[in-house]
A and B are shown apart, each in its own frame.
Chain A
Amino acid sequence: MKCSQARKYLSAFVDNELDVATNIEVLEHVEMCQGCAEQMEAHKRLKDAVASYVSSVKAPAGLRSRISQRLSTAVANGRSAYALWRETLRSPWFRIVASAASILAVFTLAFWQLQTPPAGLNQDTVSAHVAVLRDQVPAFFFTSDAGRATRLALFWANRKPAVPLIGSEDFELVGAGPAEIESRNVGHFALRYRAVTLSMFVFEGLPLNMVGGREVETGRGLGKVEKRGDMSILAWRNGAFTYILVGRISADELIKKLGPVPVGK
């Protein structure tokens, strides 16, 4: 990647918003290029300056109660019985229960389907699940419906309610899909941990010794950890799979948060 390309991405890089492949390219470039590294720092400082400004502002006293008053007026104001009845149907609780039930139904179905080993899934079943999930849970996006990575991603995405992806409830799964890295098909997941977006890759059959970094005890066996700029990369192995977690967060915190092996593994 050239400087001119890298610089266009620096702002998005600072916000952790690049797709995986670009993110890695920018990261590698910034590692080598002092000029771009400084630019990146500048973007980061600007972001921080605005964030610091935003958090320094306090709403005027009384704004909250004025809001509350206006809400009360809205509640008191004329609503027809029909509208109220319709609102009951649309009330948050009703919707939570209804959507929980439907999502649960989808997941139960999916989970039941996935009890058979991933290899037993045919593409039609996968596509059908992807379609349903897209409808029901827009946060899960799938970039492609083909290949084993999709099955892996789907496997984990569907298991979300029963088994947290990596064993800690602090991590929230915000996306799942297949990715290709160095022509290996992998499952890619976007996770959120305290507003930090992390990327997690699941490789099948990748030996740990092919991953760079120093050896470390992860609490779930031997792993590898590497620091690049303010990004940490943590890899560990679980059964046939190697997991790699990348994010702008300290490796120690990651290890601490990982916890023991998820239930059911």
Chain B
Amino acid sequence: MFRKKKELKDAKPVKTEQRDRKVLFEQEALPHTDAMYAVALRLTGNQKEAEDLVQDAMLRGFKFFERFEQGTNIKAWLLKIMTNIFLNNVKRTAGRPSMVEFETVEDFLGEVEDDLEGVPSGSSEFRELLDQDVARALDELPVEYRTPVLLSAIEGLSYREIAQAMECPVGTVMSRLYRGRKMLERTLRSYARTIGFLKGEGAR
């Protein structure tokens, strides 16, 4: 009885403080919902899972808001949390073997990689590709490449932050981005060819 009373008395200002904390978090975090959702959508490939992922990331961000260094980039921080959650889920469900396979794939790509096909300067072919084509091409990338390609397109996210999100060295981010963008370009070009956007010397 006494204890309960005391707790209630203590709890009141703390509750208020918790609410302030929520207000502060929402002010900082919610404006980045669109960007987070966009990344989540391409990571998960479907709307329902993307929404869940964003919510989980926001909740975890709120839980660990104290660890966020005020004044630094909260969007990067939240995306880092989200990517972490996602990649750990992928690892959990896929298990170890896929990681080993991936290393082989990476070596293989290293062997066969060729240059981005020369794009005539000033060419507008990519401008004619719709955002949905880009989305489709992104979905075709293996997740290890898709993640850095997506994150690097977000304004203000550094390789260091991407590396932290992916729990890998910065050098790995660099090489995966390089290859990831190449794969993306190949896919986009094949779309462009099929759709017939490419004409003249652009199409070989």
Contact = CB atoms under 8 A, between A and B. Distances in A.
B21 interface: yes
Task: Give the interface SS of chain B, mostly helix, strand, loop or mixed.
Answer: helix
B126 A67 contact: no
B138 A50 contact: yes
A26 to B, nearest CB: 13
A195 B150 CA distance: 16
B178 A11 contact: yes
A54 B116 contact: no
Contacts of B18: 75, 79, 84, 87
Contacts of B63: 74
A96 interface: yes
A17 interface: yes
Nearest to B180: A11
A105 interface: no
Given A88-B14, A92-B66, A15 B152 contact: yes
Task: Give the interface SS of chain A, mostly helix, strand, loop or mixed.
Answer: helix
Given A17-B174, A46-B126, A67-B55, 18 more contacts: A8-B175, A10-B178, A11-B174, A12-B178, A15-B152, A38-B118, A39-B116, A41-B121, A46-B184, A57-B37, A57-B41, A60-B37, A63-B51, A75-B22, A79-B18, A95-B70, A139-B72, A195-B156
B11 interface: yes
A50 B24 contact: no
B159 interface: yes
Contacts of A88: 14, 17
Interface string B116-134: 1011110000100101001
Contact of A50 (B10, B36, B121, B153): B153
A45 B59 contact: no
Place the interface of chain B in its size category. 35 or more
B159 A53 contact: no
Interface residues of A, number: 54
Interface in A157-200: 192, 195, 197
Contacts of A37: 121
Nearest to A57: B38
Interface in B122-170: 126, 129, 131, 134-135, 138, 149-150, 152-156, 158-159
Nearest to B14: A84
Interface stretch (B25-33, B84-92, B96-104, B193-201): B25-33
B154 to A, nearest CB: 6
Given A64-B30, A88-B17, A91-B66, A43 B181 contact: yes
A70 B118 contact: no
Contacts of B174: 11-12, 17
A91 B63 CA distance: 11
Interface string B59-88: 100110110101010000000000000000
B119 A70 contact: no
Interface centre among B7, B39, B126 (most CB of A within 10 A): B126
B131 A71 contact: no
